[in-house]
Chains A and B, each alone.
Chain A
Amino acid sequence: MGYQGIHWCPWWKRLLNLEGLLRLRMVLYYLFRCFWNAILAYLFIYIDIVVSQPEAGVANGVNTGARIILVVIAIYGTAQMFIKLVLAMIHHIAWMTCNCCRGTMEEVRKSKVKNLWNELNN
């Protein structure tokens, strides 16, 4: 069998060069991701700059024709922020009303939380 080091691997694995193939796969994955990002960026520019020309609609000196995509990105960000805010508020109110006030926390955890609380506030 010859020398077997810590990272020995059989001859057929060396022949196939699986590790190298794995790296290549990562490169391909990333190129695939970049490809979709490039398509997305192209769509953004096409819709906002080419389709919605600045002269498409002007009301009170404010251009209303372009910038649709930026508004869509803002709506997406706001929706995401809103979901996170609501979930965080629900969790915190539940924690305040259930665990903190009614004392439903496990006895073991209670002392640990108390210690942490003292550490944080002192």
Chain B
Amino acid sequence: MILALLSFATSYFTPAIYFYVLYATIAQIDLTNQYIQYIARVVALIYVIVYLIAIAGGLSGSVWTKYAENISRVFALMTFALLGLVTYNLFVVYLNLSGSGIDFTSFTQMSILAMIAVNLVGFFALIFLHFCTHPDLVCKLFADTISYWYYQGAYAQTMVAHAFCNVDDVSWGTKGSTGAHGGKDY
């Protein structure tokens, strides 16, 4: 129940978070460089346009689902870009590893370090906890990480947009999906 609530809450404002993190992580690369500021705006705008296309497709019904993978591919590219940008921002902008290094009196840097520790240590602790009982599955999990990231575009964005657009459709799946969505009674 808690997990379902967390997932629902997050899926509700995923677009705003994606938009802002894309914009801010590019803008922060160099706040004084005008070109980087323009690129940040253009990329954020492209994200909004792609998301609006996903919404329009989701509302248009089953015909769209044939082409939804193209939007998912664009979202997947953005996910990889976001991973790279966040990693770059963490090490170069926040922890300043390319400059003066870590300042142990800085609250921001220490909170970033604590969050990295909680996420990485917790994630690997959970995985290796399963290693003694499910060694094969743990190896598969590591092997599938890249494809998991790739499919995040579909799972976290296209499918969520499609699901939100079709909450009135309570059928179990393929039944009736070959026809035009809606209007079948007329």
On A, residues with C-beta under 8 Å from B are 7-9, 13-14, 19-20, 22-23, 25-27, 29-30, 33-34, 36-38, 40-41, 44-45, 48-49, 54, 59-64, 66-67, 69-71, 73-75, 77-78, 80-85, 87-89, 92-93, 96, 100, 120-121
Chain B residues with CB below 8 A from A84, complex form = 3, 6
Task: Tell me if B24 and A120 are in contact (CB < 8 A).
Answer: no
Task: Tell me if B13 and A37 are in contact (CB < 8 A).
Answer: yes
Query: Among the listed B13, B119, B164, which residue makes an inter-chain contact with A78, where contact means beta carbons less than 8 Å apart?
Result: B119
The dominant DSSP class at the B interface is helix
Chain B residues with CB below 8 A from A20, complex form = 182-183
The size bracket of the interface on B is 35 or more
Query: Among the listed B2, B28, B165, which residue makes an inter-chain contact with A30, where contact means beta carbons less than 8 Å apart?
Result: B165
The dominant DSSP class at the A interface is helix
Task: Tell me if A62 and B122 are in contact (CB < 8 A).
Answer: no
Task: Tell me if B96 and A61 are in contact (CB < 8 A).
Answer: yes
Additional pairs, 18, CB under 8 Å, beyond known A7-B184, A22-B182, A25-B168: A13-B185, A14-B185, A26-B166, A37-B13, A37-B15, A41-B16, A44-B16, A45-B20, A61-B99, A62-B103, A64-B106, A64-B108, A69-B24, A71-B108, A71-B111, A85-B122, A92-B126, A100-B133
